[in-house]
Amino acid sequence: MYTYDEHDQRLVDERAAQFRDQTRRYFEGKLTEEQFLPLRLQNGLYIQRHAPMLRIAVPYGHLAARQLRMVAHIARVYDKGYVHFTTRQNIQLNWPKVEDVPVILEDLASVQMHAIQTSGNCIRNTTSDPLAGVCADEVEDPRPYCEIIRQWSTLHPEFAFLPRKFKIAVTGAPSDRAAVRVHDIGLRLVRNAAGEVGFEVIVGGGLGRTPIIGKVIREFLPKRDLLTYLEAILRVYNLHGRRDNKFKARIKILVKEMGVEAFREAVEKEWQAIQGTFPLEDDIIAWYQARFVRPQYDPRAAEKDWEDERGRQAEFSAWYAHNTVSHKVPGYRVVFLSLKPPGVAPGDLTSEQLERVADLCERYSFGVTRTTHTQNLVFADVRQTDLFELWQALKEINLATPNIGKLTDMICCPGLDYCALANASSISVAGDIYRRFEDLDYLYDLGDIRVNLSGCMNGCGHHSVGHIGILGVDKKGEEWYQITLGGSSADDASLGERLGPAVAKDQVADTVEAIIKTYVDLRLEDEPFLATVRRVGVTPFKERVYANH
């Protein structure tokens, strides 16, 4: 993972000191609530429904063992002993005291972490493929470019007060595991006809109140032009994005209103004025690539398929099949840690679990873990010969539930239980669905199904791109839920189609069960859920769900 130099460290140290002084002045009455608001937001501090919420940045999802231990310490000392992993690969504390946040930021800075630009109308954490650098289908490792974008965008004076928050994702593989088409800017490393590697540039995607799939505005952008082209896009957005209505302020609305061709022309015109002013030369890229220290893979690491052990241990066999994937280095395998066991809010982890994950990643994965936008963790570099031992250790801390990609591997926002913006619960609804589908053999028969839940239109649970999307809405003080089918954030990104009228909270699990039974009746042999929905449309599902309404 990326290693800070003295400049990086000084920035986070000074930032923590600044916020300590700002907080002191706030509590002394020298800063009003209105004056303190942008200062705390720029440091990731919200005031939520029950308490403040601090969002900690995890650049492209990488966490070292010492960082995990520090987060565990902070959660135990300054919060209620657990944290929540978000769909932006970040970490949230839901109960810190405002007066404790300065020391929390100082503790984070001591392990090269921070909360800078995790909120506010600025460029947020750049996210990436959790399999970056280890997947065989990769054109090039996207992480150095994520780091370049992070450093370019951090405290960039021109982009500190954008019309709205701004999200960028980068992937280096043709298989989109970073949801690049539903970001304000999505970047995909591609190879052109001449064999050169550059970026496909996608603009204007996003979820929330008005979900839109992004459009390609450049099929190939040379690497050296990455920052100038991003700057041109941001300048056009900063100049023309609406500021009179925050619900229409995202770049997706601007691109839609201008039309993608007019937007592209505006960006190209702006770019002509700055192209070449700060090129990303090969030596600069090489410097960043060198800061990502590659693990010292053992060339003697043996290939092992565990066939005999899988025959004897059905539980291990299921975990191997569903929670591990192939690695590009012989003798190694990638392991997913499921943060979706029964009875736990999706994405939550206790201090004790964080410390055990730190121990285990040091022992089995070169001391690093990764977060995913689906709210799980990844050990990217596990020797194949260590898999059985690691599985046993993960079972002890309830992180070996073999449900990755299955119906109970739900993306879920905190909803009404924590969030001041939410209209309805999401965690308890996820629990209802989970209890209805606890039979793992049945889940395996269903195949990969992505269920996404949001407690409001802001869509932190990515409901619009769930194969089954569930959106909580308020109707005269009661919680109701709109269901959509057919969404996807993968290569074939699509928005879900609304099934029909919203259902009551106690009917959501019944509705999902009816949808699944309809799928089982309609699917062709081995046909995935999403393919069935796309083939037959939502009408058969609608007829079954609302038959008795």
pTM exceeding the 0.85 threshold for the entire prediction = yes
| pLDDT, averaged across the chain | 95
pLDDT digits 0-9 by tens, 369-422 = 999 999 999 999 999 999 999 999 999 999 999 999 999 999 999 888 878 788
Asked if 403 and 366 count as a contact pair (C-beta separation under 8 A), the reply is no
| Residue 490 predicted with pLDDT over 80 | yes
Q: What are phi and psi of 469, to 5 degrees?
A: -105, 140
Residue 269 banded pLDDT, cuts 50, 70, 90: very high
Asked if 227 and 242 count as a contact pair (C-beta separation under 8 A), the reply is no
**486, 488, 323: which is closest to 409 by C-alpha?**
323
pLDDT digits 0-9 by tens, 120-133 = 999 999 999 999 99
Burial class (CB in 10 A: 0-12, 13-18, 19+), 410: buried
The H or E element spanning position 472 is strand 468-475
pLDDT digits 0-9 by tens, 292-302 = 888 999 999 98
Residue whose structure tokens are 């390609």: 216
**127, 167, 148, 70: which is closest to 371 by C-alpha?**
127
Q: How far is CA 399 from CA 323, 341, 360, 377, 496, in A?
A: 10, 7, 12, 9, 30
The DSSP call for residue 505 is G
| Residue 549 predicted with pLDDT over 70 | no
Q: How far is CA 191 from CA 155, 194, 222, 266, in A?
A: 32, 8, 10, 26
Q: Compute, in degrees rounded to 10, the torsion defined by CA atoms 85, 89, 94, 99.
A: 140
Residue whose structure tokens are 């053999």: 441
| Residue 458 predicted with pLDDT over 90 | no
| Residue 253 predicted with pLDDT over 80 | yes
pLDDT digits 0-9 by tens, 41-86 = 989 999 877 789 999 999 999 999 999 999 999 999 999 999 999 9
For the segment 14-22, the average pLDDT, to the nearest whole number, is 96
The DSSP call for residue 348 is E
pLDDT digits 0-9 by tens, 211-251 = 999 999 999 999 999 999 999 999 999 999 999 998 999 99
